[in-house]
Each structure stands twice: as C-alpha cells, then as structure tokens.
C-alpha cells in the first residue's frame, strides 16, 4: 500500500473510531465519570496502569477502585485515615495487589500535598526558558524517578511502572499521556494538561497496534521495544506532525474493532 493510501486509511479510521461511542466499552470510561482534574488524573493513571488483559476485567477493577475511594479519589488520597486503607488489602488485578495499591495511594498523597497536578511529576524541576524535548521520553524517565522517590518503596511495584531506560514500550504510560494531553472535538481524550504538548506524545504500542503498523509498512524494526515506539511515531509524524498519536485510534481499531480489514 503506497503512502497516499496509508494516509487515507489512517485518516478515515481515525475519524471512525475517535468518537464518544468508543468510551463506553473502554477503560477510559472510568475517568470520564469525573469532572475535577485531580480525580481524572488519579483514577485515569491508575486505570491506565491496570490496562492489560480483558477490557471488561479492567473496567471492573476500575469500578472497584472508585468504590474503595468513596467515589472521590482526590479527596480520599489526601484525607483518608489508616483504617480506610484496610479495605484495599483484598484488592487485586492480575499481578497488581494490595502492596502496590497502598504505595500508589501514598505516592498520590505526597505528590498532591505539593502540587496541584500530576503533570508536574513528568516535568523537570525548572523547565522555564529551556527548549522543550522533541518527545516525552525524558518526561517518562523523570516520572519513573519521581514515582519511586518515596522512602522504602516496594520493589515489586516497579514492574507496574515502565521506563524507556529498561527499553520497555511504556504502552500504558504513553496511553495515559495521550488521555491527559490530547484534545479534539470528539471528547474522548481529556486534554487537561498544557505543559506537555500533543506533538511530543509517543504512540501507545501494544500487540494490536504493532500488528497493524507492520502490515501497513510503518515499522521495519524486527523487535518490539522502545526504539520501535520511536520509529512508529516518526512514521506517523509524516502524516500529522502536530498530532501523530491520533492514529492510535486507527491502528488499534483496525486490529481489534475492524478485524484487520485493511482496504
């Protein structure tokens, strides 16, 4: 398929799948239940980190988290009492367990005591007047360092938070950043962060996106790792340099929702 046909296909499928009906059956439906920015950030991040496996089970776990936090994640992480944490001891989603959940809560508590937004955890301490990075690779590495900056953090929780420094695709973090940063008329992504720019975002690369991108000739690299994320994002910038990750909808939709009907 030549470049023009690939562009036409990506644009068509992006418009088809980037709509409000997508929300209903996707984990992003959980943060869409909230209007306060901090609530959206907390539950959005948590859901994104749990987003592997069956989508129904992810949504079920998300609903359980909202219930455990009394329907108000921001208020809960700031004002909970020790007795309120006992109910998390039975929480489990695949390999994510109570130890991980309690550390997430403690990180959120400490972070929001000092900052109004989770976006700050992805930023250099002083980024004013400095040339912005071309993508979010450094931002994700900064976040990983900040997330595990609390004393005596559980080593087991590291497996749930990826970093480019381990050559991971960082699919879930890139997806979360897409949710927070992108904004368009469809209203699927939230677009509530302004310091990280849409053009800096990187593609959330999972098996579905990877499969479709290879079929369209957008990936040449044999492995699927961080370098593949960079390669695919650069390829997508040829079609939209200001918003390359919008094609996540098209690539994912072609593979999962449209059953690879590339035409």
Range of the structural domain that residue 137 is part of: 3-257
Residue 263 binned pLDDT confidence (cut-offs 50, 70, 90): very low
> Is the pLDDT confidence value at 127 over 90?
no
Long-range contacts from 117-124, C-beta under 8 angstroms, 24+ separation: 117/37, 117/38, 117/41, 117/193, 118/38, 118/41, 118/42, 118/45, 118/180, 119/41, 119/180, 119/193, 119/195, 119/196, 121/146, 121/147, 122/177, 122/196, 123/195, 123/196
pLDDT of residue 132: 79
* Confidence (pLDDT) at 32: 97
125 occurs within a structural domain: yes
- Please give the mean pLDDT across all residues of the chain: 94
In this prediction, residues 246-256 reach a mean pLDDT of 93
Average pLDDT score over residue span 156-178: 97
pLDDT at 22: 85
pLDDT in tens, 54-66: 899 999 999 999 9
| Domain contains 191 | yes
Going by pLDDT thresholds of 50, 70 and 90, the confidence category of residue 261 is low
Residue 211 lies in a domain: yes
In a domain, 263, yes or no: no
Q: How many structural domains are present in the chain?
A: 1
pLDDT surpassing 50 at residue 81:
yes
| Cβ atoms of residues 63 and 98 within 8 Å | no
| pLDDT higher than 60, residue 129 | no
Question: For residue 25, is it within any domain?
Answer: yes
Q: 262 in a domain, yes or no?
A: no
């Amino acid at each position: 398929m030549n470049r023009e046909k690939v562009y036409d296909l990506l644009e068509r499928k992006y418009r088809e799948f980037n709509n409000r009906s997508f929300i209903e059956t996707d984990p992003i439906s959980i943060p869409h239940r909230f209007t306060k920015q901090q609530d959206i950030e907390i539950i959005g991040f948590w859901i994104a980190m749990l987003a592997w496996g069956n989508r129904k089970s992810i949504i079920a776990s998300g609903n359980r988290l909202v219930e455990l936090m009394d329907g108000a994640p921001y208020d809960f992480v700031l004002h909970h009492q020790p007795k309120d944490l006992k109910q998390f001891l039975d929480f489990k989603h695949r390999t994510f367990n109570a130890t991980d959940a309690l550390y997430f809560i403690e990180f959120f508590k400490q972070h929001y005591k000092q900052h109004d937004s989770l976006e700050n955890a992805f930023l250099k301490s002083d980024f004013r007047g400095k040339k912005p990075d071309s993508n979010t690779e450094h931002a994700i590495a900064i976040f990983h360092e900040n997330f595990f900056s609390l004393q005596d953090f559980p080593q087991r929780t590291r497996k749930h938070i990826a970093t480019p420094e381990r050559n991971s695709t960082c699919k879930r973090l890139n997806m979360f950043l897409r949710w927070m940063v992108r904004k368009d008329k469809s209203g699927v992504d939230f677009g509530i962060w302004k310091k990280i720019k849409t053009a800096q975002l990187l593609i959330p690369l999972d098996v579905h996106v990877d499969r479709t991108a290879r079929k369209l000739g957008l990936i040449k690299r044999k492995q699927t790792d961080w370098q593949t994320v960079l390669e695919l994002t650069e390829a997508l910038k040829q079609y939209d340099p200001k918003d390359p990750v919008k094609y996540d909808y098209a690539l994912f939709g072609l593979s999962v929702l449209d059953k690879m009907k590339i035409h």
